[in-house]
DNA sequence: TTCTCTCTGAGAAGG
DNA sequence: TCAGAGAGAA
């Protein structure tokens, strides 16, 4: 019977899916699947769940599956529903945050939270922090809100409460103290931030023995996707829940099935730790299967990826292979400038479309968002439809957040973040002064702004009283409404619709608000509130985790946990523009990786980070492996960045590709171009590589004609760049200098003529900067 | 309270 | 280059 499930798997996939979840001693046997790009990992994960259920090794309620995005969770549910005749609705498949939210809702009392607790997204968290600092009269120059936010998030992601933080210097101590105050504020207001969601549920499981045991016994099989992206807290959570932390005897642990790819770990900057894979090997003793058969890319593309990534040292080791044949070589193009790069892109895309390739099958990738502008401009001028990923998403839009803030106040009036957000929006004469007075009153009475509002006297008190009555009225009036009716009522009576109708550019916002009503309707239908609510519960178990929450409360958490699409140009047949990060997990027939220049990709900031270069290389690896049939790489000699023209060297990654798989559309720069560099080891100097204009290696010193006969369009640029004689600069490369504002630094590059002469300086405190020598006050030191 | 101007600083992003 | 924050004026 289950052979159907396995019929379409290759041997290694089949092996992974059917790994015995129990060893010969009857103990749970965990697994680690090293799944290369395009090796069918989602399929393996889903089939594993189906196989476990179908072979009777577990019932659907005994499975816990964790993903990193809602999209991945949804996809898994859909595939599973197609494989098995079961209702997947009650299954615990979701993101870490979604599952933890579910846990905390079910056990809010034990977790020390009100039943109506709200979730703060990153924006909300920042405004809560700003409000906190203001209230405590803390100098936000000295303790920047953003930095405190980072401090708190990182502490929580490592599982650290204030008491666990080692006392360091004064600054550290103050940050810890503010962390404490922030947590107290959140507790008072009944809100939790994203990291708190995880930490709180970890602590819940840790400290409540009955709850822990309940879930440990329920979830006999725990599956994790994108394991390389887990952080320390998520790992600890997993260890605890599966009983591998020592809380259960070895005979009673759950089997963990982790799928990941260390070569695609690109999120260290947000707390992910690839080390977890090695830790997992050591602590869970998993059986290991490598999925190295790639079903996506042609040979040259795959060779390119393999070759590049082999330059990384810290790898578990894996080499992708394909049956698809070599296919097209990887094409490399050098443009003279960013605008010429863009127009080349347009030409090449037009040719691809003429050859019958769908626009949606063409992706333009870049390292940083700022690069999209010039490409968009070129596509727009050429009349080529395109879609940009990223940017503001539906639930992050200001008007939507305003509406949600009103809705949150109906649920939980103590939510001061929401209160502050809309107390004077639309404006109702409650200005900064009134708010300040209100905050003082609230602090004195140890209560929320909402409660303090009625105690205030005078004109401000009257206006605030009006606001409180408005909220109370909305709550009363919608008591028996359906969710969409409530949403509609609130956006009408809050005055939001009217406000935006009066604005010149408000039409879009009004439409978005109306869309929010639709979103509520869709949510009710999807979640099965109303007619088939019963179907949501699986037979056989009355789990404490499956409790009903009010539709509004659950819609609000949905809005926080799932920011929604950025719907711009969705569905249209358009060329796809996105950063390399957001391309992860996607695939396209044709892929362009643009801006392959030193300083950009690898990004200049990365060279100063621990293992930063290796992460950039993995990022490049991810980019390459998005391509199925055609891959183009481009770089430019000059690029406008932050309003200044920069001349960057070609990316070092271009040198790390196998020449047999490449085809240079512009003449490949001769070795001379790469400077007098000896065999690859000299770049790790911690500084951005910069074009060097040594007359004797790049240009014929006697004439302005380049020796390496570059593309004809390049020669103008070349002339300008060839001109500056070295010795006219007041500083030398490597010299230490002092700047009145940035302090001490070292000169790392020089370029330009006369008043245009610039120096790149690596400042100890402020990082790398370009300074115009005619303007900047620089003094040589030592 | 709100509009306008000036200054600053700049990476990637899911929940 | 350009978005966001903060200051100052109406």
**What does the mean pLDDT of chain A come to?**
85
For strand C, the positions having any atom within 7 A of a protein Cβ are 1-2, 6
Neighbours of A525 (CB within 10 A): 11
**Cα first-last separation, chain A:** 80
Residue A769, pLDDT score: 66
Low-confidence winner among A406-410, A452-456, A484-488 (lowest mean pLDDT): A452-456
Per the model's pLDDT, the better-predicted residue between A698 and A494 turns out to be A494
pLDDT attached to residue A539: 33
Residues in Cβ contact with A271 at an 8 Å cutoff, skipping those fewer than 6 apart: A153, A154, A157, A231, A232
Mean pLDDT of the region A545-574: 77
Tokens 């600069």 belong to residue: A729
Band of residue A776 on the pLDDT scale cut at 50, 70, 90: low
| Element containing residue A750 per DSSP (H, E) | strand A743-751
Strand B atom within 7 Å of A95 CB: yes
In whole angstroms, give the CA distance from residue A38 to residue A639: 33
Of residues A226, A263, A334, A338, which has the active-site annotation? A226
Q: Please give the residue that has the higher pLDDT: either A498 or A616.
A: A616
pLDDT at A699 exceeding the cut of 60: no
**How does pLDDT run across A477-534, given as a tens digit for each residue?**
999 999 999 999 999 999 999 888 887 778 888 999 999 999 999 999 988 775 443 3
Q: Which two tokens stand for residue A551?
A: 């539709």
Residue-wise pLDDT for A726-754, tens only, equals 346 777 777 787 766 667 777 777 766 65
**Of A626, A652, A691, A758, catalytic:** A626
Share of chain A above pLDDT 90, in %: 64
C-alpha–C-alpha distance, residues A618 and A268, integer Å: 11
* Tokens representing residue A25 in the block: 């001693």
> Model confidence at A766, in pLDDT bands (50, 70, 90)?
low
* Residue in A299, A269, A311, A261 with CA at minimum distance from that of residue A654: A311
Query: What is the spatial distance, in angstroms and rounded to an integer, between the CA atom of A137 and the C1' atom of C10?
Result: 30
Which residue is closest, via its CA, to the C1' of B12?
A581
Rounded to 10 degrees, what is the CA torsion of A360, A364, A368, A372? -80
CA dist A21 and A219 (Å) reads: 13
Q: Is A264 a catalytic residue?
A: yes
Query: Are A423 and A464 within 8 A, CB to CB?
Result: yes
What mean pLDDT do residues A274-292 have?
96
DSSP category for residue A293: B
Extract the runs of DSSP E, i.e. beta strands, from A642-727. Answer: 644-647, 662-664
Catalytic residue among A157, A225, A338, A751: A225
pTM score, two decimals?
Answer: 0.84
Who has greater pLDDT, A348 or A570? A348
Give the model confidence (pLDDT) of A161-216 as tens digits.
999 998 788 888 999 999 999 999 999 999 999 999 999 999 999 999 999 999 99
pLDDT of res. A323: 94
Q: Find the DSSP H helices in A679-730.
A: 715-722
- Cα gap A711→A206, rounded to integer Å: 65
Instruction: Report percent pLDDT > 70 for chain A.
Output: 85
**Which of the two residues, A675 and A94, has the higher pLDDT score?**
A94
Using DSSP's 3-state secondary structure scheme, residue A780 falls into strand
């Amino acid at each position: 019977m289950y052979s159907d499930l396995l019929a379409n798997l290759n041997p290694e996939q089949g092996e992974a899916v059917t790994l015995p979840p129990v060893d010969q001693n009857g103990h749970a046997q965990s697994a680690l699947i090293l799944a290369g790009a395009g090796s069918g990992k989602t399929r393996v994960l889903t089939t594993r769940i189906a196989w476990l259920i179908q072979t009777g090794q577990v019932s659907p309620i005994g499975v816990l599956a964790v993903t990193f995005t809602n999209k991945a969770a949804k996809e898994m549910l859909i595939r599973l529903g197609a494989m098995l005749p079961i209702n997947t609705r009650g299954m615990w498949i979701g993101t870490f945050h979604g599952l933890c939210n579910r846990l905390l809702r079910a056990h809010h009392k034990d977790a020390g939270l009100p039943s109506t607790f709200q979730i703060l997204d990153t924006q909300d968290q920042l405004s809560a922090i700003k409000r906190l600092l203001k209230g405590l009269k803390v100098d936000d120059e000295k303790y920047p809100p953003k930095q405190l936010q980072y401090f708190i998030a990182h502490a929580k992601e490592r599982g650290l409460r204030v008491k666990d933080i080692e006392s360091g210097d004064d600054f550290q101590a103050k940050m810890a103290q503010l962390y404490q105050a922030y947590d107290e504020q959140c507790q008072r207001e009944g809100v939790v931030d994203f990291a708190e969601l995880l930490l709180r549920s970890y602590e819940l499981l840790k400290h409540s023995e009955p709850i822990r045991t309940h879930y440990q016994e329920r979830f006999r099989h725990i599956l994790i996707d994108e394991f390389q992206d887990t952080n320390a807290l998520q790992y600890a959570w997993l260890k605890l829940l599966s009983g591998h932390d020592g809380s259960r005897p070895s005979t009673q642990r759950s089997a963990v099935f982790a799928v990941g790819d260390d070569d695609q770990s690109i999120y260290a900057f947000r707390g992910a730790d690839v080390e977890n894979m090695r830790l997992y090997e050591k602590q869970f003793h998993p059986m290991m299967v490598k999925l190295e058969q790639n079903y996506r890319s042609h040979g040259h593309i795959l060779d390119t990826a393999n070759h590049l990534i082999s330059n990384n040292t810290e790898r578990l080791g894996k080499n992708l292979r394909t049956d698809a044949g070599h296919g097209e070589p990887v094409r490399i193009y050098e443009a003279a400038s960013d605008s010429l790069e863009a127009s080349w892109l347009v030409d090449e895309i037009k040719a691809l479309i003429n050859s019958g390739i769908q626009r949606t099958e063409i992706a333009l990738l870049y390292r940083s968002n700022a690069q999209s502008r010039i490409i968009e401009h070129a596509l727009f001028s050429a009349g080529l439809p395109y879609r940009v990923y990223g940017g503001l998403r539906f639930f992050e839009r200001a008007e939507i957040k305003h509406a949600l803030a009103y809705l949150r106040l109906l649920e939980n009036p103590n939510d001061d973040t929401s209160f502050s957000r809309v107390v004077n929006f639309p404006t109702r004469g409650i200005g900064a002064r009134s708010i300040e007075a209100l905050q003082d009153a609230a602090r004195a009475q140890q209560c929320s702004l909402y409660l303090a509002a009625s105690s205030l006297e005078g004109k401000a008190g009257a206006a605030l009283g009006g606001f409180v009555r408005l909220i109370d009225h909305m709550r009363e009036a919608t008591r028996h409404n359906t969710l969409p009716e409530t949403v509609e009522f609130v956006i009408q009576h809050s005055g939001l619709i009217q406000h935006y109708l009066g604005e010149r550019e408000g039409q879009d916002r009004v439409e978005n608000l109306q869309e929010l009503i639709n979103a509520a309707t869709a949510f009710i239908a999807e979640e099965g509130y109303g007619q088939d609510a019963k179907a949501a519960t699986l037979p056989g178990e009355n789990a404490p985790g499956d409790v009903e929450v009010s539709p509004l409360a659950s819609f609000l958490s949905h809005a926080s946990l799932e920011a929604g699409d950025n719907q711009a140009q969705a569905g249209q047949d358009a060329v796809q523009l996105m950063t390399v990060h957001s391309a992860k997990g996607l695939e396209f027939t044709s892929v362009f990786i643009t801006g392959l220049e030193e300083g950009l990709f690898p990004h200049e900031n990365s060279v100063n980070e621990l293992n930063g270069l290796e992460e950039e290389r993995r990022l490049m690896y991810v980019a390459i492996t998005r391509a199925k049939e055609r891959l183009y790489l481009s770089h430019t000699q000059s690029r406008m960045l932050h309003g200044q023209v920069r001349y960057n060297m070609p990316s070092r990654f271009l040198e790390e590709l196998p020449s047999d798989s490449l085809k240079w559309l512009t003449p490949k720069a001769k070795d001379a171009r790469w400077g007098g560099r000896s065999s690859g080891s000299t770049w790790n100097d911690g500084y951005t590589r910069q074009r060097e204009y040594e007359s004797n290696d790049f240009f014929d010193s006697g004439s302005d004609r380049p020796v390496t006969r570059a593309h004809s369009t390049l020669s103008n640029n070349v002339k300008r760049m060839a001109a500056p004689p070295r010795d006219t600069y007041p500083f030398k490369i490597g010299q230490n200098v002092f700047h009145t504002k940035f302090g001490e630094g070292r000169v790392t590059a020089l370029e330009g003529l006369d008043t245009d002469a610039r120096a790149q300086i690596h400042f100890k405190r402020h990082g790398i900067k370009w300074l115009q020598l005619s303007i900047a006050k620089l003094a040589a030191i030592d």
